[in-house]
């Protein structure tokens, strides 16, 4: 299983990228959001990958963070959501946006993804609502940029959970880490994972840059009994 690929970009397109790895070109399918964030042709890049194996087809799907790869794994567990539909959802909302939409039961946000109808969007929210808190809680650890590593030389690594050395490019986005920490704090206080995730997601939607203490306070206000 190929879990990460690093090399030099030979070609870029809105839905895929061709990466040269020691003389071998790998086509990696990506979301439009990921494609837009990749370096220019001729520059080094790295992506976490998911390999889809069928009788007559092998396809690599790429993700800039482990958090996004985990959401892809969860999305494709829903009946009717294939790899391309998952990329469409992630490309529309981003990894953190997917987490907020599912935690809040906002199927209309999922519906905005190309090719995703209302019934399928509702199914995604209903089936994943109880599982979303687990991924949100891991967000601080999983949102690690794939980094370049030895991309100039070209690497293909086995599927594993990498632990890149800290650097400016590998720093976890503060919003994901803050949401994960806030969710952990609320569950430690005795709140259920689903209700805690929804409260944190609502607070993060109001202020995406809010630090952990602010998210906890806002979520507690939302969870407080209404008089």
Residue where a domain stops, chosen among 63, 84, 99: 63
- 31-58 residue pLDDT tens: 999 999 999 999 999 999 999 888 888 8
- What are the CA-CA distances from residue 109 to residues 1, 69, 104, 173, 203 (Å)? 32, 20, 10, 22, 17
CATH number at residue 189: 1.10.8
Question: Mean of the per-residue pLDDT values for the chain?
Answer: 84
Task: Report the C-alpha gap between 224 and 200 in whole angstroms.
Answer: 13
Task: Report pLDDT for 174.
Answer: 57
Number of structural domains, the chain? Answer: 3
**196: pLDDT confidence band, cut at 50, 70 and 90?**
confident
119 against 180, higher pLDDT:
119
Task: Report pLDDT for 148.
Answer: 65
Range among 13-27, 94-108, 148-162 rated most confident: 13-27
Task: Report the C-alpha gap between 130 and 122 in whole angstroms.
Answer: 14
- 154-193 residue pLDDT tens: 445 545 444 443 333 333 445 778 888 888 888 888 888 8
Terminal C-alpha separation, the chain: 54
* CA 52 to the chain's CA centroid: 18
- 54-87 residue pLDDT tens: 888 889 999 999 989 999 999 999 999 999 999 9
- Domain that includes residue 33, residue range: 4-63
| Shared-domain flag, residues 25 and 36 | yes
**149: pLDDT confidence band, cut at 50, 70 and 90?**
low
Residue 147 lies in a domain: no
| Shared-domain flag, residues 56 and 72 | no
Task: Report pLDDT for 124.
Answer: 96
Task: Report pLDDT for 35.
Answer: 94
- Which stretch of 15-29, 77-91, 93-107 has the lowest confidence by average pLDDT? 93-107
- 4-19 residue pLDDT tens: 999 999 999 999 999 9
| Shared-domain flag, residues 114 and 125 | yes
Quick count: other Cβ atoms within 10 Å of Cβ 24? Answer: 10
37 is written with which tokens? Answer: 């964030």
Query: Do residues 213 and 186 make contact, with C-beta atoms less than 8 angstroms apart?
Result: no
Task: Report pLDDT for 168.
Answer: 36
pTM, rounded to two decimals: 0.75
Task: Report pLDDT for 68.
Answer: 93
| Shared-domain flag, residues 74 and 131 | yes
Nearest by Cα to 146 from 43, 32, 3, 22: 3
């Amino acid at each position: 299983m190929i879990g990460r690929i690093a090399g030099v970009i030979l070609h870029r397109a809105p839905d895929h990228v061709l990466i040269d790895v020691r003389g071998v070109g790998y086509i990696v399918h990506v979301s439009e959001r990921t494609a837009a964030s990749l370096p220019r042709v001729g520059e080094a890049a790295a992506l976490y990958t998911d390999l889809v194996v069928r009788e007559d087809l092998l396809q690599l799907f790429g993700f800039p963070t482990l958090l996004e790869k985990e959401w892809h794994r969860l999305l494709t567990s829903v009946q009717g959501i294939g790899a391309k539909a998952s990329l469409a959802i992630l490309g529309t909302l981003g990894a953190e946006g997917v987490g907020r939409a599912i935690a809040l039961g906002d199927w209309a946000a999922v519906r905005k993804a190309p090719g995703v109808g209302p019934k399928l969007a509702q199914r995604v929210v209903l089936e994943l609502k109880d599982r979303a808190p687990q991924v949100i809680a891991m967000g601080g650890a999983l949102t690690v940029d794939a980094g370049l590593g030895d991309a100039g030389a070209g690497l293909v690594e086995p599927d594993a959970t990498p632990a890149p050395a800290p650097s400016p490019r590998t720093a976890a986005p503060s919003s994901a880490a803050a949401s994960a920490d806030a969710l952990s704090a609320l569950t430690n206080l005795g709140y259920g994972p689903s209700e805690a995730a929804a409260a944190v997601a609502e607070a993060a939607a109001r202020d995406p840059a809010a630090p952990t203490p602010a998210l906890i306070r806002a979520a507690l206000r939302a969870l407080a009994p209404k008089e």
